Amino acid sequence: MVGQSEAFLVVKALIDKIVAFDAPVLLEGETGTGKELAARAIHYGGMRRDRPFVPVNCGALPDQLIENELFGHRRGAYTDARDDQPGMVELARAGTLFLDEIDTLTPKGQVTLLRFLEDQLFRPLGGMREQQADVRIIAASNRGLEGLVDAGEFRRDLLHRLKLLCLTLPPLRERHGDVALLADHFVQVSSARFPKQAIPFDPATLAWFERYHWPGNIRELENLVLRAFLLAEGSQISIPAPAVTPSAGPDPIVATLNYRSAKSQAMMEFESRFLTRLLQEAKGNVSVAAHISGTERRQLGRLLKKHQISKGSLHL
């Protein structure tokens, strides 16, 4: 974990306290703020460091399979169950079970998890006996669970089980001074991973880094830096600023728009900014831009035409 801002140091100090207590932890924060990294820091800094850390994406657990995924099954439990299969809880025995995107659990999933958390007993599908699970639970959500409880979308009793210890990860825009440190860290990591010598950022790039809103937080920064570093040809990394650099304030959504109109407008603005920056990085070459973005060239061409973006419209 890299940073020196006051917001980061507060979180780091809380993590140092949390690792001493083998209790459930709830991590909240926007997408891309590093919740899994914080969960790993808690696990590997605590008394279970030598045992498994098992991440589970709750959004990928369908209702009909949630018990099988969490608790496993015994041979013959259903038609295709030819062998015993341990679930995530069993794989995490004596270690940590990290429940990411806990807010996406369906009502049935919430009941299943609550029943398990009450006494940490579970029974594999087709099993005859209950088993005791010695696991530490760390859950994460990019939406405030208190608000979801008030809206009737999340069980309050489950929240109380999960929120014995709570930590909120700050968004990157509130970590003043950390963007340059993180960007340099990602360059060093990329240099060690790929056969390319690390190079610095030019001052103009670092300047707009500090002003930018970073809606995708650390993950957005990491992806941007990795791509720019690998494609950089000179002695510095130069990344053009977005066409519009959002401030740290609230998004300027026009209050008179209805939801559908506001969403359509936001998508159009995002597409235009993204395509402009993409074509700038590709030096106006549509084929290179398609390769960078993982988009089919013909589809990218249609999007560029839709937004009237061409090599001639860019400042290259």
Mark whether 32 and 181 lie in a shared domain: no
Note whether residue 280 is domain-resident. yes
Name the domain count of the chain. 3
Do residues 139 and 204 both lie within one domain?
no
Q: CATH number, domain at 286?
A: 1.10.10
Helix (H, G, I), strand (E, B) or coil at 152: coil
Same domain, 126 and 216: no
Give the residue with greater pLDDT, 305 vs 165: 165
Q: Are residues 154 and 216 in the same domain?
A: no
Range of the domain at 316: 253-316
CATH value at residue 24 = 3.40.50.300
Question: pLDDT tens across 28-52, in order?
Answer: 999 999 999 999 999 999 999 999 9
pLDDT at 314: 65
Q: Which domain-ending residue is among 170, 204, 230?
A: 170
Answer yes or no: is 230 within a domain: yes
Task: Name the pairing type of β-strands 121-122 and 53-57.
Answer: unpaired
Mean pLDDT of the chain: 84
Residues 11, 72, single domain; the answer is yes
pLDDT digits (tens, 9 = 90+) for 148-183: 999 899 999 999 999 889 999 999 999 999 999 999
Q: What share of the chain is helix, strand, coil (3-state, %, to 5)?
A: 50, 10, 40
Look up the pTM and report it: 0.71
Same domain, residue pair 58 and 184: no
Q: Does the residue 128 lie in any domain? A: yes
Please tell me whether residues 163 and 270 are part of one structural domain.
Answer: no
pLDDT of residue 249: 47
Q: Is 171 exposed, middle or buried (0-12, 13-18, 19+ CB in 10 A)?
A: buried
**Same structural domain for residues 153 and 23?**
yes
Q: Which residue has the higher pLDDT, 257 or 312?
A: 312
Kindly state whether residue 260 falls inside one of the protein's structural domains. Answer: yes
- Among 206, 230, 246, give the residue marking a domain's end: 246
121 plus 151 within the same structural domain: yes
Indicate whether 20 and 120 sit together in one domain: yes
Residue 303, class by beta-carbon neighbours within 10 Å (0-12 exposed, 13-18 middle, 19+ buried)? middle
**Number of CB atoms found within 10 A of residue 262's CB:** 15
- Is residue 261's pLDDT more than 70? no
Question: Once rounded to an integer, what is the mean pLDDT over residues 192-206?
Answer: 91
Place of tokens 């690998």: 230
pLDDT given for residue 43 in this prediction: 95
Give 235's DSSP letter.
S
Q: Which of 198, 223, 246 is the last residue of a domain?
A: 246
Mean local confidence (pLDDT), 190-198: 91
81 and 211 share a domain? no
CATH number for the domain spanning 237: value is 1.10.8.60
Alpha carbons 278 and 153: distance in angstroms, whole number: 38
- Residue 258 pLDDT: 52
Query: By C-alpha distance, which of 305, 309, 229, 237 is closest to 277?
Result: 309
